[in-house]
Structure 1
Amino acid sequence: MLNHISLLVALLIILFWGMTISFALVVDFTNLTFLAIIFLIFLQIFFNTGLFIVAHDGMHGILVPYNQNINDAIARLALILYAGLSFKDLKEKHYLHHRFTGTSLDPDFHEHNPNFCFWYLRFMGKYVSFLNLCRLALLILIIVNIFQIHWLNLLLFWALPLIFSSLQLFFFGTFLPHRHHHDNQFNLSCLSTIKSLHLPILLSFITCYHFSYHQEHHRYPFLAWWQLPFTTRFIQSYF
């Protein structure tokens, strides 16, 4: 049964993302209240982040562990919908991140400058290529011209949620767990230096799909995102 839960959850996230973005891009925002616009933006951020989390679990072969081709296809689709990213490229870099965590060989880590802004820009520069930007630009042109989407809808409900989602993922998945600490700066490759933020379950889910349970993820990368707050229980069932 557990083998099918991650697949079902992944498909639901993709479905809900599709429903919200389809509505948001065509809705007449002048008929919406300010609070409704803010809610729709936050909803889109939440499901955008969900797309990346789906792809992330796919990188670890968790979505469909009994069929790698289907697993990779779903993860690849999630990344394309998220921002036209390359699954192959991200998977290779993510494996390096796990193998060389917190070292100069870790593509996610910034060993020289833990400042949030500089680290974020360096991080994005490694994952967003010129080809990726061209794909996004082409996608925007197609959407705007074929579906006659208002540019403000595109800005409010696609561009802004995408940017804030990337900030959210970076903050909870890279900056907080992997930044320099005085007590671990000479032992950065040790798993114990990775920090987890043990928020209440609902808050942890809303903020970043339990990505704040980051040390748990690095110790047990075969666990799905929804299993991370209950690591002990699931580890006992695996062994």
Structure 2
Amino acid sequence: MPTIKRDTRGIIIAATIVSCWVGLLVYLLTDYTIDFTSPVAYLFMLVQMHLYTGLFITAHDAMHGVVAPGRPKLNRTIGTITAFLFAYNWYPRLLPRHHQHHKHVATEQDPDYHHGSFWPWYFSFLKQYITWWQLVLMAVTFNVLKYFFPTENVILFWMLPAVLATFQLFYFGTYLPHRGEHAPDNPHKSGTQRKNHLWAFLSCYFFGYHYEHHDKPYLPWWQLYKAKA
């Protein structure tokens, strides 16, 4: 693994994702009138979904120490904040589970793995990462937000994007790369998307290049495409 050097680019990128998520959410809750016949409303929902996914990917990169390399306290703080903004995920709980995934990938000891079809695997995945107190906090937040903002805006731009982002993360970052049997000489038991950097970014911040991530976990998401090239 390369020597860890301080690099502010990951901090700037993390701050940009958080700022975009907050700024767009504030606009969509306060100033945007939904027209359900217009595709713009659904486009905004998809953009917000993608930014939610970006929050989690940032927290994930923090688990590998690459958001603020050489600054462990700042790195952990950014990871804690971005995980918490994504449906109140708790970074200290996620951290050991993710490293367990890397250590025991696609085995019974892998918390992300489930030997089965899509839906049983998805619900198994959710059970590993969603806690009752997250559901309580989400319910409380929903009721507070709908007191101040239109309910349809809260549902379409705050609640649904978070739910859809779990599908995005699971489908492209867990299910597709780890499903099925892998060759005996595949040390990471992971597949990978075909090389298409635009689609790889839009689908899940390059984490469709999943073999490359397991092979070089020290690369942040925004440099992962280099491993594919």
Please tell me the residue identity of whatever aligns with 1:67: R
The aligned residue for residue 222 of structure 2 is 226
Distance 2:65 2:105 in 1: 20
Which whole-Å deviations, capped at 9, do the CAs of 1:196-231 have from their partners, x for residues lacking one?
A: 102411111111100101011111111100111102
The aligned residue for residue 121 of structure 2 is 119
Q: Where do 1:8-157 residues align within 5 Å?
A: 8-30=12-34, 34-111=38-115, 113=116, 115-145=117-147, 148-157=148-157
Task: Give the deviation of 1:33 after TM superposition.
Answer: 5.5
Task: Give the deviation of 1:189 after TM superposition.
Answer: 8.2
Structure 1 residues 126 and 232, CA gap change in structure 2 (3 angstroms): closer
For residue 105 of structure 1, give the secondary structure of its aligned residue in structure 2. Answer: coil
For residue 66 of structure 1, give the secondary structure of its aligned residue in structure 2. Answer: coil
Instruction: Give the percent of matched residue pairs that are identical in Structure 1 and Structure 2.
Output: 31
Distance 2:25 2:204 in 1: 19
Task: Give the deviation of 1:4 after TM superposition.
Answer: 1.4
Q: Is the 8 A contact 1:45 1:165 kept in 2?
A: yes
- Note the residue ranges of structure 1 that are not aligned, 5 or more in a row: 234-239
Please tell me the residue identity of whatever aligns with 2:217: P
Please tell me the residue identity of whatever aligns with 1:149: F
Flag the structure with higher helix content.
1
Distance 1:33 1:77 in 2: 35
Give the RMSD, CA atoms, in angstroms: 2.0
Distance 2:45 2:142 in 1: 18
For residue 105 of structure 2, give the secondary structure of its aligned residue in structure 1. Answer: coil
The aligned residue for residue 197 of structure 1 is 193
- Note the residue ranges of structure 2 that are not aligned, 5 or more in a row: none
Structure 1 residues 232 and 151, CA gap change in structure 2 (3 angstroms): closer
What TM-score results when the alignment is normalised by the length of structure 1? Answer: 0.88
Task: Give the deviation of 1:32 after TM superposition.
Answer: 7.3
For residue 104 of structure 1, give the secondary structure of its aligned residue in structure 2. Answer: coil
Please tell me the residue identity of whatever aligns with 1:190: P
**Matched pairs, number:** 225
Which whole-Å deviations, capped at 9, do the CAs of 1:132-170 have from their partners, x for residues lacking one?
A: 11121222233233xx11111111111111111100000
The aligned residue for residue 166 of structure 1 is 166
Task: Give the deviation of 1:24 after TM superposition.
Answer: 1.2
Question: What is the aligned counterpart of 1:7 among 11, 21, 25?
Answer: 11
Please tell me the residue identity of whatever aligns with 2:54: G
Task: Give the deviation of 1:83 after TM superposition.
Answer: 0.8
Q: Is the 8 A contact 1:101 1:188 kept in 2?
A: no
What TM-score results when the alignment is normalised by the length of structure 2? Answer: 0.92
